[in-house]
């Protein structure tokens, strides 16, 4: 949810400034709202610290599903400890209200920033590619913490990403709202909180397997990261239907328009485009397997500083250096053209006599063609083509070094 101080308060809000929740949290202001609850700024009376208090809508308090989701969010957040994840503080009930107290994070959501409503001049869609890569890298750092303990967010989107600007550190990212997260292994497995085939998430940022209602794993969060990165650098989400159902259907079947086609003037490199498109592959088997792999690919793009990471035993076997692959492909293509040009040159430069048949004398050679006249007028165009191709290949090889 967006922590936008001063957001307009609605008449049906479950709490108002001055209310004391669970005898502990004094409501001070309205921060934002979502489909299932409202977020307030509040003061913890025990130590006067400021918190973000997320309160469920009263009309939903009797819903077993929503109650379970909030309780699950509380239990999940207790597991997550990391700089990129908003800290969980408390889960309380008060006069039929359910609330979660979270660390208060000053700043604004990525959603508000991209819309130009956050006062962050650098973060306004479309972003410079290097800045977009930096923000998504930080998001992946938080996801890596969650994935390591078996938690998939399932609802990553700009509204659930907080951005703060810290002196000396620049823009810093924090991930919100694990209420839709799924515990995929371990003793904290939760079941029975959703109806059969019920689908949670936001269609524009939803992986195809999630739209189908399939089981999900960390690669569903990788897809959402790909959507956000695409949106940051182009100013548009890759897929948007007229209705949520149309969007979900399009996620299953509609091809992704390459970012450099969607926004040709944004300076998006071929390497960055390749990373985005792989993250957005409709087949999860073809995406990056983890947030760490996506970070490694973003580092290879060469538009940001390298983050030191401890490699896993099988990382070397599965790592995909996108820029290196692209350059190798260019070298192979250039090599193929060189071979073809040399073959043509040999064919044109040699006169092959026809073989004798049954002892018959060989026919007289055919008159020389224009290309074989003295002075070899065909030779210089072929040599020029070969020289150009060799220069291209050498340039690519030098760039690799």
Q: How confident is the model at residue 331 (pLDDT cuts 50, 70, 90)?
A: very low
For residue 59, count CB atoms less than 10 angstroms from its CB and return exposed for 0-12, middle for 13-18, buried for 19 or more: exposed
Only one residue has tokens 């224009």, namely: 370
Q: Which whole number is the average pLDDT over 5-33?
A: 78
Strand order in the sheet with 161-166: 108-109, 161-166, 170-175
Q: How confident is the model at residue 119 (pLDDT cuts 50, 70, 90)?
A: low
pLDDT for the residue 245: 92
Q: Which whole number is the average pLDDT over 31-59?
A: 87
33 vs 153 pLDDT, higher one: 153
Domains of the chain with CATH codes: 20-103 (3.30.200.20), 108-308+315-320 (1.10.510.10), 328-346+376-401 (no CATH)
Percent of the chain with pLDDT over 90: 41
3-class SS at 234?
A: helix
pLDDT for the residue 370: 41
Q: Which whole number is the average pLDDT over 312-332?
A: 42
Q: Are 158 and 228 in contact (CB under 8 A)?
A: yes
Q: Which residues pair with 26 in a beta bridge?
A: 20, 43
pLDDT for the residue 393: 66
For the entire predicted model, the pTM comes to 0.69
pLDDT for the residue 48: 93
283 vs 366 pLDDT, higher one: 283
Q: How far is CA 15 from CA 53, 97, 383, in A?
A: 10, 9, 80
Residue-wise pLDDT for 59-92, tens only, equals 776 767 767 777 777 788 788 888 999 988 998 8
Q: Are 2 and 112 in contact (CB under 8 A)?
A: yes
Q: Quick check: is 90 catalytic?
A: no
pLDDT at residue 128 greater than cutoff 50: yes
- Measured CA to CA, the distance from residue 173 to residue 145 in angstroms comes to 14
- Quickly list H helices, 235-378: 244-253, 259-262, 270-279, 291-301, 315-318, 322-349
Lowest-confidence segment of 97-101, 132-136, 186-190 by average pLDDT: 186-190
- Reference 389, options 337, 327, 324; nearest CA is 337
- Measured CA to CA, the distance from residue 166 to residue 154 in angstroms comes to 28
CB proximity list for 129: less than 8 A, separation 6 or greater: 233, 266, 267, 268, 269, 272, 303
Q: How confident is the model at residue 124 (pLDDT cuts 50, 70, 90)?
A: confident
* Four-point Cα dihedral 303, 84, 286, 325, nearest 10: 20
**Mean of all residue pLDDT scores within the chain:** 76
- Reference 2, options 150, 153, 141, 118; nearest CA is 118
83 vs 321 pLDDT, higher one: 83
Catalytic residue among 12, 13, 47, 155: 155
Q: How far is CA 376 from CA 104, 344, 389, in A?
A: 79, 14, 21
pLDDT for the residue 189: 38
């Amino acid at each position: 949810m967006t922590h936008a101080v001063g957001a307009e308060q609605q008449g049906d809000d479950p709490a108002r400034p001055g209310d004391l929740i669970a005898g502990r949290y004094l409501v001070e202001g309205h921060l934002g709202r979502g489909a299932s609850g409202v977020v307030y700024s509040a003061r913890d009376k025990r130590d006067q610290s400021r918190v973000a208090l997320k309160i469920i809508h009263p009309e939903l308090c009797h819903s077993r599903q929503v109650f379970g989701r909030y309780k699950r969010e509380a239990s999940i957040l207790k597991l997550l400890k990391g700089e990129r994840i908003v800290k969980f503080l408390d889960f309380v009930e008060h006069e039929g209200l359910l609330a979660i107290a979270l660390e208060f994070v000053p700043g604004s959501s990525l959603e508000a920033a991209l819309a130009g409503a956050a006062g962050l001049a650098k973060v306004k869609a479309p972003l410079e590619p290097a800045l977009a890569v930096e923000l998504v890298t930080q998001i992946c750092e938080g996801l890596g913490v969650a994935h390591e303990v078996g938690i998939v967010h399932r609802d990553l989107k700009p509204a659930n990403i907080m951005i703060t600007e810290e002196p000396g550190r620049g823009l810093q990212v924090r991930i919100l709202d694990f209420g839709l997260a799924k515990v995929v292994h371990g003793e904290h497995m939760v079941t029975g909180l959703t109806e059969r085939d019920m689908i949670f998430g936001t269609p524009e940022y939803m992986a195809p397997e999630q739209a189908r209602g399939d089981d999900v794993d960390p690669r569903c969060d990788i897809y959402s990261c790909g959507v956000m990165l695409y949106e940051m650098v182009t100013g548009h989400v890759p897929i948007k239907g007229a209705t949520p159902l149309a969007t979900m259907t399009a996620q299953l079947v509609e091809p992704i328009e390459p970012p450099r086609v969607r926004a040709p003037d944004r300076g998006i490199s071929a390497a960055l485009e390749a990373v985005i498109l792989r993250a957005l592959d409709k087949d999860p088997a073809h995406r990056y397997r983890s947030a760490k792999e996506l970070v490694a690919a973003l580092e290879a793009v060469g538009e940001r500083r390298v983050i030191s990471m401890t490699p896993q035993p099988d990382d070397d076997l599965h790592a995909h250096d996108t820029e290196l692959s692209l350059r190798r492909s260019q070298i192979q293509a250039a090599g193929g053209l060189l071979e073809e040009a040399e073959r043509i040159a040999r064919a044109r430069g040699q006169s092959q006599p026809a073989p004798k048949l049954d002892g018959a004398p060989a026919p007289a050679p055919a008159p020389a063609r224009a290309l074989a006249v003295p002075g070899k007028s065909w030779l210089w165009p072929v040599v020029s083509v070969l020289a150009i191709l060799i220069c291209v290949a050498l340039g690519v090889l030098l760039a690799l070094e």
